[in-house]
Amino acid sequence: NPRDTTPPPASALPTTIVPRQPIRPNFASGHPQLLQQMLPVRTVTGANGQLYAVVPTTAGATRQIVATGGQTSVPALITVPPQGTRATPPQQQQQQQQQQQQRLVQQLTAARAVAEDPLTCAHCGQTFTSVAASHVHKLKHNDDTYFCLECGKSFRSEPLATVHIVSHCGVDGIKTDLQCPLCTSAPYRTSSVIAFRRHMSEGPSVHPQHAKLTVRSPGCVLLFGSDKASADHQRQHREAPSSDGRCCIICGTGNMWTRPTASHLMLHGAMQWIMCRECGLCFTQLHQFHEHFRNAHVTQMPHQNGRSYSCTPCHQSQLFIAQSQIDAHVAEKHKVFGLKLKGNQTIEIDDEVKKRLGLL
């Protein structure tokens, strides 16, 4: 019977036979040959007439493969301990397996307890006195880009973060007050983003005080006060393309997402802090954050063309030749935005928007 798994008598083999999980080698012309690895083999014939291919392992033991008449079916895999050793008794094997399972259960239970404890970091085991501090600390171990300044919860995407912070105060806590920075003699003010975009796309032929708005960015209705501002805005459209060509009047991105309870524009009505992912320090201005990171977490080294920069938290795995390169790396990997909404937050045109439009 080719499926007969009865092992040969002990006299035909070195020592006791211990059953193991079967594998399937390839037998060509009656000679056993393993599929995955080529090992020296010897064959023995059991009393039941079956051909056994004994394959030595790297640990000194041997594995025995059952085959009959060169057939490829392998109903059993048998381990034969080396001469002078004994196979582990079945009862002792069972006890060892039970002990190993108990240790594994204990480890999993301990890991689950740490993961479920809001005051303990599951990555490094550090403990905290508040849940918010624990959430902010975990930003060192994850890739989230935004976190809530109210409760510390972090989020990977801008929409999720904005929806969350709006839930703390409600949609009614955000107001829009957009005033044209050029129309001073006859001020133009509106709460409608659509109306304000239309106004800022009209040149001096419509509004004489828009004489500075002379450059139009390709693919956008907005006008700008310089070629550089127009080129920068065009790059934003490429980085975050919009299906309908719309862009944010405040920051210029084409990622104008909307949700039932929030939208991209609401993000501009929030308090925004820039936090260093490595040490937790927060800054109100982007240049302050970059200056801090360069002084605290960047190593300068000599280079054939001058100086090179290495990011210390990244274990000096990459060298940057220009300061702009290290700044771009830091902004992508180590910058986190802290967001918070208070009652009566206002979305308005500030100096940063004026600079983006090329008016300052």
Q: 84-135: per-residue pLDDT in tens?
A: 444 556 677 778 778 888 887 777 666 665 556 778 787 777 888 888 888 8
pLDDT at 69: 41
pLDDT at 13: 41
User: Helix (H, G, I), strand (E, B), or coil: what is residue 281?
Assistant: coil
Q: Residue 334 corresponds to which tokens in the numbers above? A: 């180590």
- Region 22-47: mean pLDDT is 42
Residue with tokens 């090179």: 308
Q: Residue 249 corresponds to which tokens in the numbers above? A: 């009047």
pLDDT in tens, 257-293: 888 888 898 888 888 899 999 888 889 888 899 999 9
Which distant-in-sequence residues (6+ apart) come within 8 Å of 148 by Cβ?
154, 155, 161, 164, 165, 168, 338, 339, 340
Question: Where does the pLDDT of residue 11 fall: very low under 50, low under 70, confident under 90, or very high at 90 and above?
Answer: very low
How far, in Å, CA of 321 to CA of 287, rounded?
20
How far, in Å, CA of 315 to CA of 28, rounded?
53
Burial 122-139 (b: 16+ CB within 10 A, else e): eeeeeebeeebebbbbbb
pLDDT at 299: 85
Question: Where does the pLDDT of residue 158 fall: very low under 50, low under 70, confident under 90, or very high at 90 and above?
Answer: very high
Q: Residue 203 corresponds to which tokens in the numbers above? A: 């040149």
- Region 48-58: mean pLDDT is 54
Radius of gyration of the chain (CA): 35
pLDDT at 28: 40
- Region 63-79: mean pLDDT is 41
Between residues 321 and 82, the one the model is more confident about? 321
Which distant-in-sequence residues (6+ apart) come within 8 Å of 179 by Cβ?
187, 188, 189, 348, 349
Q: Do the beta carbons of residue 264 and residue 255 sit within 8 Å?
A: yes
User: Helix (H, G, I), strand (E, B), or coil: what is residue 2?
Assistant: coil
* Residue of 197, 198, 199 whose CA lies nearest to 188: 199
* Residue of 177, 180, 186, 232 whose CA lies nearest to 201: 180
pLDDT in tens, 224-249: 999 999 999 988 888 887 767 788 98
How far, in Å, CA of 159 to CA of 83, rounded?
68
Between residues 320 and 91, the one the model is more confident about? 320
Q: Do the beta carbons of residue 77 and residue 64 sit within 8 Å?
A: yes
pLDDT at 12 over 60: no
Residue type present at position 71: Q
How far, in Å, CA of 317 to CA of 321, rounded?
14
* Residue of 237, 266, 265, 264 whose CA lies nearest to 253: 237
pLDDT at 71 over 80: no
Task: State which H helix or E strand residue 91 sits in.
Answer: helix 90-116
pLDDT at 180: 93
Residue type present at position 80: V
pTM for the model: 0.61
pLDDT at 68: 41
For the chain, what percent of residues have pLDDT higher than 70? Answer: 70
Residue with tokens 């991105």: 253
